[in-house]
């Protein structure tokens, strides 16, 4: 962490700090925000969390979430808090378009900005970048950051559980992006009293009946398998959203079910949102979905998990996506 000396100096006496993270925040976005919040609060900083859109219901149990100010619901207050900040810390995203309208506000701020993130290709909108694309999660990086600050003693059970939440969600319970270093960190967290069984249950066994039925609907009625390209697609229409009364977070993780098929290398979850069509892409092994998201759907992310958007309708978007497959045929064809 090459900038750590300067950041240490910056944080050496109490400051007013705003933490922000990407829209439609996941466990890593909220976990890293809360871990940082509890860490910096212990250091006597005045800390606020301001994020673009609501967090999903399955994270409602997390201590501290009720402190989060949501721009969509409290625009003036969010802007005010941002404008009063001495420091803004951007977690789990690396481009201002990932925080919607807050991006414009952050861009106009003259205060110091810090980014801690594990996505590819960080944009240069901050003063201090901590980027580690080999990290499983931003939460893993928060652990590294606190250690680099020389503050291991501040990682208590509550900071630890926040960090563990992002690790569990971004690795899909240690199914991807793992490393010896990650397991060492996790071992340390367990020794601090982090209850991993409790967290796994809270995070992954949180479906309600509607969500389970929606998953059934996706798999039974909305799934298409393109064997030739080892690709699976699930689509959801606006009508589905209305019929199942789908809200934010209800569709979390559905895309991963496609990868459970033995020969599927790429999974696409394509959904009709109020103004855009959203794509969630996943892949297994060497095949990267990042390029497809970045080059064709104004998005990005990681090699095996990316997302993007389309401004055409659902049908046209699916057609466009399918038309791209021959181009990526080499990497996707079964004999490869």
Residue whose tokens read 């949102």: 273
Our finding on whether 172 is near ligand 5GP (CB under 6 A) is no
Contact set for ligand 5GP, span 59-118 (CB under 6 A): 95, 98
Closer residue to Mn ion in complex, CB, 89/325: 89
Residue 26 CB partners (closer than 8 Å, separation 6+): 56, 92, 169, 170, 252
Our finding on whether 309 is near ligand 5GP (CB under 6 A) is yes
Our finding on whether 306 is near ligand 5GP (CB under 6 A) is yes
Applying CB under 5 A, which residues contact Mn ion?
28, 92, 137-138, 170
Our finding on whether 249 is near ligand 5GP (CB under 6 A) is no
* Phi-psi map region of 4: left, alpha, beta (phi>0 left; psi -120 to 50 alpha): alpha
Q: Strand, coil or helix: what is 112?
A: strand
CA distance 184 to 35: 18
Our finding on whether 307 is near ligand 5GP (CB under 6 A) is yes
Pick from 52, 122, 166, 300 the residue near ligand 5GP by CB under 6 A. Answer: 300
* 28 interacts with, out of Mn ion, ligand 5GP, none, CB within 5 to 8 A per kind: Mn ion
Alpha helices in the chain (DSSP H): 4-10, 27-42, 75-84, 101-108, 138-148, 157-170, 180-191, 196-204, 209-221, 238-243, 254-258, 290-296, 314-324, 329-332
Smallest distance from ligand 5GP to CB 291, Å: 12
Closer residue to ligand 5GP in complex, CB, 115/158: 115
Smallest distance from Mn ion to CB 33, Å: 11
Our finding on whether 308 is near ligand 5GP (CB under 6 A) is yes
Our finding on whether 25 is near ligand 5GP (CB under 6 A) is no
Q: How many CB atoms lie within 10 A of CB 55?
A: 22
Q: How many residues would you count in the chain?
A: 336
Contact set for ligand 5GP, span 266-295 (CB under 6 A): 280
Closer residue to ligand 5GP in complex, CB, 160/301: 301
- The site that binds ligand 5GP (CB under 6 A) totals a number of residues, namely 13
Our finding on whether 23 is near ligand 5GP (CB under 6 A) is no
Residue 113 CB partners (closer than 8 Å, separation 6+): 87, 88, 89, 90, 106, 125, 126, 127, 128
DSSP string, 192-220: TT--HHHHHHHHHS---HHHHHHHHHHHH
Which residues contact ligand 5GP (rule: CB under 6 A)? 95, 98, 119, 280, 299-302, 305-309
């Amino acid at each position: 962490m090459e900038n750590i000396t300067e950041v240490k100096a910056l944080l050496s006496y109490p400051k007013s700090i705003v933490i922000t993270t990407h829209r439609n925040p996941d466990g890593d976005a909220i976990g890293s925000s809360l871990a940082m919040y509890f860490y910096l609060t212990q250091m006597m900083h005045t800390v606020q969390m301001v994020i673009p859109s609501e967090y999903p219901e399955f994270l409602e149990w997390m201590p501290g979430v009720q402190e989060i100010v949501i721009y969509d619901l409290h625009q003036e207050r969010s802007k005010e808090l941002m404008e009063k900040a001495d420091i803004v810390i951007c977690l789990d995203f690396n481009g201002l378009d990932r925080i919607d309208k807050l991006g414009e506000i952050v861009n106009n701020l003259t205060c110091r900005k810090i980014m801690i993130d594990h996505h590819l290709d960080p944009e240069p909108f901050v003063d201090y970048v901590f980027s580690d694309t080999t990290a499983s999660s931003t939460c893993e990086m928060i652990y590294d950051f606190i250690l680099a600050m020389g503050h291991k003693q501040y990682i208590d059970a509550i900071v630890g559980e926040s960090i563990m939440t992002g690790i569990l969600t971004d690795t899909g319970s240690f199914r991807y992006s793992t490393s010896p270093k990650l397991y060492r960190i996790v071992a340390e967290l367990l020794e601090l009293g982090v209850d991993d069984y409790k967290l796994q249950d809270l995070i992954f066994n949180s479906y309600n009946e509607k969500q389970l039925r929606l998953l059934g609907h996706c798999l039974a009625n909305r799934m298409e398998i393109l064997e030739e390209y080892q690709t699976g697609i699930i689509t959801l229409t606006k009508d589905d959203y209305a019929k199942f009364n789908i809200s934010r977070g209800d569709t979390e993780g559905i895309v991963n079910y496609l990868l459970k098929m033995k020969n599927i290398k790429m999974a696409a979850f394509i959904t009709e949102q109020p103004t855009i069509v959203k794509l969630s892409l996943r892949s297994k092994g060497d095949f990267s979905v990042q390029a497809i998201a970045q080059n064709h759907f104004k998005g990005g992310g990681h090699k095996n998990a990316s997302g993007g958007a389309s401004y055409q309708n659902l049908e046209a978007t699916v057609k466009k996506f399918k038309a791209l497959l021959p181009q990526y045929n080499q990497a996707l064809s079964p004999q490869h």
